[in-house]
Amino acid sequence: MANTPVTAIIVGGGHRSFTYGDYSLEHPDELKIVGIADPNRERCLLAAERYGFSTEFCFENAAELAKHEKFADTIINGTMDHQHYETAAPLLELGYDMLLEKPFAVSADEMHKLLKIIREHGNKVMICHVLRYSAFYRAIKQRILNGDIGDIINIQMSEHVSYHHLSTSYIRGKWANSDICKTSMLLAKSCHDIDIMMWLMSETLPDTVSSHGSIYQFKEENAPENAGTVCMVDCPLVDTCRYSSKKIYLEHPDRWTCYVWSALEAIENPTLEQKAKLLKSDSPYGRCIYKSDNNVVDHQSVLVNFANGATGTHNMIGGAAKSLRKIHIIGTKGEISGNYEENKFVISRIAVEEEDGFIDETVDLDVSHSQGHGGGDEALTKDFIDFIKTGNQSISCTSIYNSVAGHLTVFLADKSMENGGAPQKCDFSQY
């Protein structure tokens, strides 16, 4: 395999799978897509044309693919969160290695069963915690490994989810209702952030977790007076409400195309009139945001106590003016504080000889976020290929075993929130 490309089959032909698969178009000597499994026939045909494989290697779903003898090295599994276990298990049992989207399981029980299969079959499985590969977090991790701030005492993290992102993905979209998508807001949105916390604290494991959160804004009693149920059909506030589907989607038609206009993907260059018609139909993106069927929280705070006595907090706040991820890490020799969106952080070192008592170093990474996740998408795919070929793991590589602490922390945080914030004990004995 050293001089030949890793071969992969896409399972779940969505945006994320194609993002990783497209690496093969620029680097055909490293990765080759040889098949797809997806119930959408048009997406299968698109993939066959895009990556140059025969339509005989288009399958309706993972179960149908699992009936076929193994014909590739790996699977790129980009199915929906609640489908990860059911689609991964039969293919892992056939001996495929896998790049598996986060979260790799939606419950502790699924996590335990999937790990059991992987241990039995010796698969190499890497989880798509793509933020580990961004220049921002990778540089911070390296500075910690270098000992620049000493031992970590506390990590403070926050994620502000913009009002249009929250509306699109978590109130009107795929992750709006945990009864359907089987994931909580914290698991769907912030498992990246919790994973980063666990990664930075990799010398120790979480001991207890507690959490509070609620649906604060987006519920029917907060709907403006006279609000309708479908923005562009029966709402007199369609031109003034900040969450109007007309203002968020029709007036910004290129912002969330892979979600909002997915029902129109068979139409080449759909017009604004066609998009307006969709928003007036039964599209979930046309609904009043206050009268949708969402049941996931719009803000949540998590407190983690680590086994070595260090602590960490993460605050997820939805409905913010702009997307923002901030981090502040305090160690025994100094601290690191930064902003992911700006790709910049400051290292403040204790310096008793200085008049102010510290020395600041600003690290400006000068990386454009026009690249997926600050360049993380491509870096993750390249690292996956190396992981499959050599078994080597970079400082960012997230084998499934490296992802357990973050997933368990999220599961326990949600359990704590459901029980009024009661601390939950972490037990890693079965993992």
**Domains identified in the chain and CATH numbers:** 6-123 (3.40.50.720), 131-218+294-425 (3.30.360.10), 220-291 (no CATH)
**Which helix (DSSP H) or strand (DSSP E) does residue 6 occupy?**
strand 6-11
Cβ(29)–Cβ(7) below 8 Å: no
Distance, CA of 319 to CA of 159 (rounded, Å):
11
The residue among 268, 160, 294, 290 whose CA lies nearest residue 222 is 290
Helix 191-200, helix 135-145: angle, nearest 10: 20
Predicted structure pTM score: 0.93
What whole-number distance in Å separates Cα of residue 80 and Cα of residue 192? Answer: 16
Nearest-angstrom CA–CA distance, 39 and 47: 13
- The H or E element spanning position 181 is helix 178-181
Encoded tokens for 430: 């079965």
The predicted structure's pLDDT at residue 256: 92
SS3 119: helix
Q: Let me know if 413 is exposed, middle or buried by CB neighbors in 10 A (0-12, 13-18, 19+).
A: buried
Q: Judge whether 367 and 374 are in contact, CB under 8 Å.
A: yes
Q: From CA 384, how far away is CA 376, in angstroms rounded? A: 12
Phi–psi pair at 410, nearest 5 degrees: -65, -45
- What's residue 372's pLDDT? 54
Question: Strand 152-162 vs strand 324-331: parallel, antiparallel, or unpaired?
Answer: antiparallel
- How far apart CA 373 and CA 411 sit, in angstroms, is 25
Q: How far is CA 147 from CA 144, 167, 394, in A?
A: 5, 41, 18
DSSP conformation class of 399: B
pLDDT tens series, the chain, 431 aa: 568 999 999 999 988 999 999 999 999 999 999 999 999 999 999 999 999 999 999 999 999 999 999 999 999 999 999 999 999 999 999 999 999 999 999 999 999 999 999 999 999 999 999 999 999 999 999 999 999 999 999 999 999 999 999 999 999 999 999 999 999 999 999 999 999 999 999 889 999 999 999 999 999 999 999 999 999 999 999 999 999 999 999 999 999 998 999 999 889 899 999 999 999 999 999 999 999 999 999 999 999 999 999 999 999 999 999 999 999 999 999 999 999 999 999 999 999 999 999 999 999 997 765 555 556 889 999 999 999 999 999 999 999 999 999 999 999 999 999 999 999 999 988 77
Report the distance separating Cα 127 and Cα 333, nearest Å.
32
